Structure 1
Amino acid sequence: MFDAFTQEDSSVSKRYGGTGLGLTISNNLLKYMGSKLNLTSQLGKGSTFYFDIEVSCEMMEQEDGTLPLNRVLVVDDNANNRVILQHMLAYKQVESVLAENGMEALQLLMKGERFDVILMDYHMPILSGLETIEKIKELFRQQERGFR
C-alpha cells in the first residue's frame, strides 16, 4: 500500500489525479522522523491514515498545568481547524478569538483587540497567512509611530 506504483491506464490518473506517490513520499518523510504511516480501513466505511512523531519543544506550561497565555487569535479559513484549536486552548484555560480570514484578523487588531499569540493559517484565500502577517507588522509599525 505504501510502495510507489504506476498506473497501467494513464486515463485513470488524468480523470482522478495523482500518480500513486503520495503515500510513499509521506511514509519516507516519516521514516526520517523515526515514525511510519499506519492505516486502519473498513470496507464500505473508508480508511484512516495516521502517524505518531516525537518532537522537542520548550515547556510553556506553568506548574499548575496552565499556559502563560491569556488571549490567542486563531486565523484560519477552515472552520473545523478553528474550532479544534479553540477547544484545545480552552482545555488549557486560554481564551481564543476566531477569525476566518486575514481581513477579519486585521479588523480585530485595528479595533484595538490585543492578543498574546496569533495562530495563523498559511494558505487562505484573498490574503495568505504570510501576507496577513506582513500587514499586521505594518499596522504595528504605524501604531508605534503614532504613539511617539
Structure 2
Amino acid sequence: MYRVYERRMQIPIRISKGADEQARLKKLERWPREAGTTVVLDESGSNFGKLVQIYAADYGLEVGEKKWDIKSEGDTVRVRLEIPLLKGGEPKGRSVMEAAIPKTPTGEEGNNYVYTADVQYYIEIDEQVLAESTTSGMVEFSL
C-alpha cells in the first residue's frame, strides 16, 4: 500500500463545565463519530469523509463499510476508524482516522473545558491500482 494522503492535526474539543465527569467522558468517546470525520482539513473546505469519496472516485474504487474501534484506556480515549476501499469487492486501499484524546482537559475557554485531540488521517491505495491509474486515460501518439 502507498500512502496518497496524510494529515496530522491537534483539534480542540469543547465540553461544558456544567457536565459531570461521566458525561464529559461519554462526549469524548462520541466526538470521533459525531465530528471527527467532518473537521475541515484543507483550504478547499474538504473534510475526511469528502476526501475518502474523492480519492475512491479518482482511482475507480468503492467505499466500504466503516469499522470503528473506540477504547478508553487509562487517561486516554483511543479511536480508530478504518474504511476499506474496494475494487470488485476486494480491498485495494484503506482510509484511516486515528485519534488519541486525553481524559483530562488541556485548558479552559469561558464556560468550557478544552480537550486537545491528536488526530491522524491517512489514505492508502494499492500500488497496482496506482500504476493502472497512471496509464489509463493516456493518449498514444505516433508520428
| Alignment TM class, shorter chain as reference | under 0.3
Q: Decide which structure has greater strand share.
A: 2
Normalising to structure 1: TM-score of the pair?
0.25
Structure showing greater relative contact order (alpha-carbon pairs closer than 8 Å, 6 or more residues apart): 2
Normalising to structure 2: TM-score of the pair?
0.26
Q: Decide which structure has greater helix share.
A: 1
